[in-house]
Structure 1
C-alpha cells in the first residue's frame, strides 16, 4: 500500500467576498516538482483564511505552472485567456531552447486595487546537456465574467524579456567528449552505454567541474537575429589535457542496468542508480530514454513510500514507535483531505513492522504528531545528507524536505509526498545509509569534494531498519525479489503525480555492498513496474563490484 492521496484536483471556483489588496495568500510559496507535476501543491491547505487575494486565483496560477512543468501544454494553455497562442508559444519555447522538465516555484499571490492578481514565480529550466537556466517572472490573472480566473496571456509571463520584437536562441559550442573509463580502467563509450553519452561531456573537468559542454542562451532581435544580450552561459572555457576521466562506474553493472531498463520499463520514462554502500561510489547510472534529461541524477520526484525509510528512522530515533508496537492501518485517514491505501487495503491491529512491509499510508500518517514539524527534514539532512550540497563529479539534484506549511502537507510528507523531492541517486544513497548507518557522499569521479556533514545512525536503528527491509522482501510488497540469491532488503513506493496521470512506481533495494534505486514514471505501482527492472539488474549481476 504505497502513496496514494484522494483529492479533487484543481477546479476553479467562483470569487467570494472581495479581499483586501496586496495581502499574500495563505498558501505561501509552493514548489512544483518536475516529474511529480505539482498536483499536490495545487491544493489549498485546510486553514486558509478569507483575507488576501481570492484563493481561486492563486490556485489557477499554481495549476497552470503544474501543467507547464509536467509538459501538459494543452492543459496549461487552456487555463489562459488565449489557449491557441499560449500552447504554440510554450511548445516552441521548450523545443527551441531544448528544455527538459522545469521546476517552477510559485510565490504568494498579491492583489492590486483594480482586482487583478499577480503570482510571481521562479523558473529553473534544465537545458539539455548544459545546465539549468534560472530566472524570475510573474503570472497575471484576471477574473472572468463567470467568476472564474484565467491567466491573462502575454509573452512576458514566459520570460520578462520575451516580446513581439525579441526572442531567445540557444547556441551550443560543439566539443569532443573526453575519454572516459570505468573503475577498472576499461574505456566507456556512448555507443556501448547509451545512458552515458549525454553525461560524458559533463565529466570533462573531472572532480565535479563541467568543462566539457559549453553554450549560451542569447536574447536576439526577431527580425535581424542580432544578439542583444546573453541571458545564460554554460560551461567553462578550458581544455582538458590531463588524460582520460576515470569514473567509479563498473562496465558490467552499467550494461546490466541499461539492459534491465530496456527489457522491463515498457518504454516508459525511467531511471536507475546503483552504488556501493561502503563508500558511495556509483556503479551504474541508467536512463530511459537514454538521451536527453538525466532523470537518475537530476530528476525531482516525490519518492512516495520509499521515503518511509527516512520517516521510520525519524520515529525510531526518538523511540516514538517500535517495530512490534500496534499501529492500526485503516483504509482511510482524513487530515484536511482524505488519504488512502493502494486498493483501499487495511490491516486492523497491524504492528509497525507490518505497516512498513505492507507500506500502509494511513498508519504512517497517524504517527505524524510524534514528530515535530521540521523533524523529518532535520533527520533527512543530519543522518542521510539529503538537502546538503553534494559534489558527485557531475551535475545532480540533492533533494529537498521543506518544513510543512500545514497539517495536510505534514501528513503527506510522512509518506514521501507533498513537497518532499528526491531521485534515484538520492534514494539509493538513503538505502545505503539506512543499512550501513553512515552516509557517504555519492561519487562518480575520482577526487570529488565532500562538504557534507552528517551523523551516523545508532546501531539499534540500523538493525531495525535492515530487519524491516528484509521482511518487505520475504513477507511484503517486494516479494518479486524473494527468489534471488543473497539477503536482499527492499522497499516499494507508489508516488502520486496528478489526477490525469498514473502514479510513478519506485523500488529501492540492497544486497551485499550495493544499493539500488529505480523509478518508472506512470508505472502505477512500485512492485509492478520498478520491481521487474531491479530484479533484472540483480539477476544479471549476482556479485558486488570490486
Structure 2
C-alpha cells in the first residue's frame, strides 16, 4: 500500500511514476486504436508448419480469435473485457489498467503476428506494442500471448505478467520519469502568483507537466526498477532532446494557494503516512482549487487513481433511484445486517437499522438497504445515469492526464448488487467524486479543469431541481445526524457522504469522504484507512476549518 505507484488500494503491479521537473505541453493524441492480427493464408508457413505438417498442429482459429479480442479490448481501454479473456480476470484487469494509466499511455496500437502451437498445445501469438506515452513519444516493444484450452473447450490467455512486457515480473516493474529542463515556463496560481514544488510538494509533478518548453520539447524515460528497493535496473525507452530555448509566458492554473496549502497541511497531519489524495473543486465551474497526494512525489492518485468509490457512490445510486421515482426519503427500506446476492453483503461493523427510512439508510450508509433496491434500476441504468447527468466515463480535458471514471454494465446480479454501493467494477478517484458531488448539489455538471482554455467535449443533462434538493437534504442530514457527524462543528451548511471501500480479502478497506460547503466541494481517499469517518473525514475537516470562506 505504500508503493508510490499504487492505485485503488492494490500495490501497483506494472509501474510507478516519479517526476523530475520537466516541460510538457503536448495534448493526448486522438489517434484511433489499431489492432491487427497477422494470421494470413500463408501463416502456416511462417509458423514453420509447411505443406506436409500434421494438421492437428495448426493453431486453433478459436485461440487466435481470443488473442485478437484480448488485444482489441486492451487497446480500446476495455480492461474488464480484456481481463475476462484471461485465466485470472481480476488480476489481469488491475495490471493492464495500472500499466496503461501509470505510464501515461494513451491509445495503444497492438499488432499481432502469426500464431504458433507447442507440443503441449499452448498457442503463442507474438505481438508488437506501440505505446504512445503522453506528451513524450511512442514506446515500441515486442511481447507474446500464451493461450491455453480450458476444460470447457474455450481458449483463454494464460495470464502472466510478462505478456504485458517481457521484463515485467514479480520483482521488477516500470517507472516513467520526466526530466527537468534547464529552463521552463513559469506556472502560477489563479491570481498569477508563482507556484513552487518546494512550497507545495504535491504540485511538483503537476507543475512539471504544465511547465512546457518551446525548444527541445518534453523529455523523459521509461525505467525498469526493483519493486522492493526502487533502484533502477535498466532503461527501456528514452524520449526528447535538450531544449534550444525556453518557452515564453507563464501558465496560469485554477489553483487557489490558500486551498492548496490547506490540502497539503491536512494530508501531512492526518493521513498517518498512508497513501492518500484530496481534491477541492469549485461547484459553479469545475475549476480545481487544490489537489494533493501523499506521498507528494510520483503518481498523481488524486486525478489518475482508479479506486472503488465505496459508499460515496451512493450519491449517484440515490440520484438514479430518485430520477426513477423508485424511492422517496421517507419510504421505509429495511436495513438488515446481511443480504445475500450470490455472496453475502454486510454493513460496516455489521450494523443494522430495522424499519429505517431511506433517508436513514443514506445517512447511516446502509449497504443492504441500497442493494435491496437493485431491482428498481435496469442493468445499464447506473452507467447511463452516471454518464448522462454526472459526466462519468466521458472524455474529460482537465489540462493534465486524468482517469475520468468507469461504470461498466454489471456482468451478473452479484456485480449489480456491488455496483449499488460503489464496489464491483465501478471506479473513480477524488477528482471524479468531487465532480459527482458538485453536480449533485448544483444540478449541473461542469468539466473539471486546472488550466484555462481546455476544450469540453462532454454532453450532459441537468438534474431535476427536486432531485438536487433531496440530495442536498440527505447529505446535510449525514453531517447533522449520520456517519459524517465529525463535520458538524464546522460553520455553514456542510453536507457530506462517507465511504468505506473493500479492496481485497487481504488488504484493509479504503476510507472515503466527500463534502460540500458553499461553492466548494472536497473529496478525499485514504488507502487502508479502514473507514471514511476515521480516516478521510479528519483530512476534509482540517481543510474546511483552515479555509472558512468561499473563493471569489
- TMscore range, shorter length: 0.7 to 0.9
- The structure-2 alpha-carbon separation of the partners of 1:162 and 1:323, relative to structure 1 and needing over 3 Å to count, comes to closer
| Partners of 1:323 and 1:353 within 8 A in 2 | yes
Normalising by structure 1, we get a TM-score of 0.73
**Who is 2:488 aligned against?**
482
Matches within 5 A, 1:100-499: 114=120, 116=122, 140=146, 156-159=162-165, 173-175=179-181, 176-205=183-212, 213-217=218-222, 241-499=247-505
Gaps spanning 5+ residues in structure 1: where? 1-19, 45-52, 72-93, 145-149, 220-228
**Who is 2:89 aligned against?**
62
| Partners of 1:129 and 1:292 within 8 A in 2 | no
- The structure-2 alpha-carbon separation of the partners of 1:195 and 1:118, relative to structure 1 and needing over 3 Å to count, comes to same
Secondary structure at the aligned position of 1:275 is classed as strand
| Partners of 2:212 and 2:218 within 8 A in 1 | no
**Who is 1:531 aligned against?**
537
Distance in 2, Cα, partners of 1:471 & 1:124: 51
- The structure-2 alpha-carbon separation of the partners of 1:331 and 1:233, relative to structure 1 and needing over 3 Å to count, comes to farther
Q: For each residue in 1:174-226, what CA deviation from the matched residue of structure 2 results, as whole angstroms up to 9, or x when unmatched?
A: 424421111111111001000011111211359xx9x974335599xxxxxxx
Distance in 2, Cα, partners of 1:170 & 1:266: 27
Distance in 1, Cα, partners of 2:517 & 2:217: 35
Secondary structure at the aligned position of 1:508 is classed as strand
| Partners of 2:391 and 2:459 within 8 A in 1 | yes
Distance in 2, Cα, partners of 1:121 & 1:348: 57
Distance in 1, Cα, partners of 2:352 & 2:461: 36
| Partners of 1:494 and 1:525 within 8 A in 2 | yes
Distance in 2, Cα, partners of 1:134 & 1:493: 40
1:542 aligns with 2:545: no
1:521 aligns with 2:527: yes
Shift of 1:236: 12
Q: For each residue in 1:499-520, what CA deviation from the matched residue of structure 2 results, as whole angstroms up to 9, or x when unmatched?
A: 1110110000000100000000
Distance in 1, Cα, partners of 2:160 & 2:374: 43
Gaps spanning 5+ residues in structure 2: where? 1-59, 109-114, 151-155, 225-234
Secondary structure at the aligned position of 1:286 is classed as strand
Number of residues of Structure 1 aligned to a counterpart in Structure 2? 462
Distance in 2, Cα, partners of 1:101 & 1:386: 20
Q: For each residue in 1:63-114, what CA deviation from the matched residue of structure 2 results, as whole angstroms up to 9, or x when unmatched?
A: 653785799xxxxxxxxxxxxxxxxxxxxxx9xx9967999x9xxxx9x895
Normalising by structure 2, we get a TM-score of 0.72
Shift of 1:235: 11
Moved more, 257-266 or 234-243: 234-243
| Partners of 1:502 and 1:523 within 8 A in 2 | yes
| Partners of 1:472 and 1:491 within 8 A in 2 | yes
Distance in 2, Cα, partners of 1:244 & 1:317: 45
| Partners of 2:70 and 2:81 within 8 A in 1 | no
| Partners of 2:103 and 2:175 within 8 A in 1 | no
Secondary structure at the aligned position of 1:188 is classed as coil
| Partners of 2:260 and 2:292 within 8 A in 1 | yes
Shift of 1:134: 9.7
